[in-house]
Amino acid sequence: MGLSGKTILVTGGTGSFGKKFVKKSLEYDIKKIIIFSRDELKQFEMAQEFKESKIRFFIGDVRDKERLFRAFDGVDIVIHAAAMKQVPACEYNPFEAVKTNIQGAQNVIETAIDREVKRVIALSTDKACSPVNLYGATKLASDKLFVAANSYVGDKETRFSVVRYGNVVGSRGSVVPFFKKIRPTGVLPITDTRMTRFWITLDQGVQFVLDSLQRMNGGEIFVPKIPSMKVVDLAKAMAPECKIDIVGIRPGEKLHEAMITENDARNTVEFESYYVIQPEFPWWSHVYENHVKRLPEGFKYTSDTNTHWLSIEDLRKLIKDI
């Protein structure tokens, strides 16, 4: 679905993704873009930054279904980015994470169907793939809800899909701004020298969502093909003069990221720049049945088994723009 003439709503729209998505969307001839979030200060600051008449700000929480119903009036496309994302906060406040990430997802789904929104894309995370912490578990549940939502849209045109990718480099909470902040101390903490991560920039993440919006039939989980890097190499690229302090893996943290499990791979098809995890539901129309590029038995998409890697020099060039 194209953006021209459409009204778009972004939940959690004042975050790093939301701001970049709004900036990119304004390049199209959209009718309106609505920022739905619960922090009035962030909305005020965003309004000062953009000063654009096509942007509307709507205070609300995805936990509040009635407020979502009001906000979704006349909306064509919803990008669901709102979530509790900080792993320690989710562990310490588990049911709060459940209410936002799971109940909030179901509220978005039901409201989108009732308001006859045409397309909904939910942002997922690598942590939803074989989760080891509560945040990942709630996002896995959210992914399942959005895929299954296509089962009960009836004769309406509403369709739901999911986009899954790893940590966005340079976004709030990512390791790059953290390393920049503590670089003057002369010491960078690394949890484990073996640790690997996928690399995706904010621009790439937003573009992948826009591309997936065009491709979606409803029910897919879209996974981009992106390079891997060693966290210790990133530290060397950013601050070669700093000493590296090995501090050990934190609770709820993985040594390597995963985005497609071996079980998921059996239902996954491969394209040139992305994968599609297909739903296991009778209603799935097998739109990719003529696409013969299936994944080999035992395939998994993890940051340590990736075929595309960034060197220290590659990383040094990339972080100049962050």
The rounded distance, in Å, linking the Cα atoms of 30 and 278 is 30
* Proportion of the chain above pLDDT 90, given as a percent: 80
Residues 151-171: what's their mean pLDDT?
90
Mean pLDDT of all residues belonging to the chain: 93
Whole-number pLDDT of residue 307: 92
Whole-number pLDDT of residue 175: 82
Whole-number pLDDT of residue 217: 94
**Lowest pLDDT segment from 70-74, 181-185, 212-216:** 181-185
Of 130, 135, 209, 134, the C-alpha closest to 165 is 209
Question: Quick one: tokens of 152?
Answer: 């009960």
Whole-number pLDDT of residue 291: 72
Look at residue 202 and give its three-state secondary structure. helix
Whole-number pLDDT of residue 36: 98
HSE-up (13 A, CA, CB side) for residue 115? 25
Of 106, 121, 101, 100, the C-alpha closest to 8 is 121
- Cβ pair 250, 215 in contact under 8 A: no
Whole-number pLDDT of residue 290: 76
HSE-up (13 A, CA, CB side) for residue 100? 20
Residue 152 DSSP class: G
Query: Which helix or strand (DSSP H or E) is residue 196 part of?
Result: strand 196-198
What are φ and ψ of residue 242, in 5° steps? -85, 150
- CB burial string 191-220: b at 16+ within 10 A, e below: beeebbbbbbbbeebbebbbebbeebebbb
Instruction: Give the pLDDT confidence of 86-139 residue by residue, as tens digits.
Output: 999 999 999 999 999 999 999 999 999 999 999 999 999 999 999 999 999 999
Whole-number pLDDT of residue 158: 98
- Cβ pair 178, 188 in contact under 8 A: no
Residue 319 DSSP class: G
Whole-number pLDDT of residue 2: 83
Whole-number pLDDT of residue 61: 98
Q: Please indicate whether residue 127 is annotated as part of the active site.
A: yes
pTM: 0.94
What are φ and ψ of residue 89, in 5° steps? -65, -40
- Cβ pair 130, 149 in contact under 8 A: no
Whole-number pLDDT of residue 321: 67
**Binning pLDDT at 50, 70 and 90, where does residue 284 land?**
confident
**Binning pLDDT at 50, 70 and 90, where does residue 322 land?**
low
Say which of 6, 20, 127, 139 is annotated catalytic.
Answer: 127
Whole-number pLDDT of residue 52: 87
Whole-number pLDDT of residue 289: 76
- Cβ pair 50, 25 in contact under 8 A: no
Domain definitions of the chain by residue range: 1-166+200-225+258-301
Whole-number pLDDT of residue 173: 66
Residue with the bigger pLDDT between 314 and 320: it is 314
**Binning pLDDT at 50, 70 and 90, where does residue 178 land?**
confident
The rounded distance, in Å, linking the Cα atoms of 214 and 35 is 21
* Proportion of the chain above pLDDT 70, given as a percent: 98
Tell me if the domain spanning 1-166+200-225+258-301 has CATH number 3.40.50.720. yes
Whole-number pLDDT of residue 97: 97
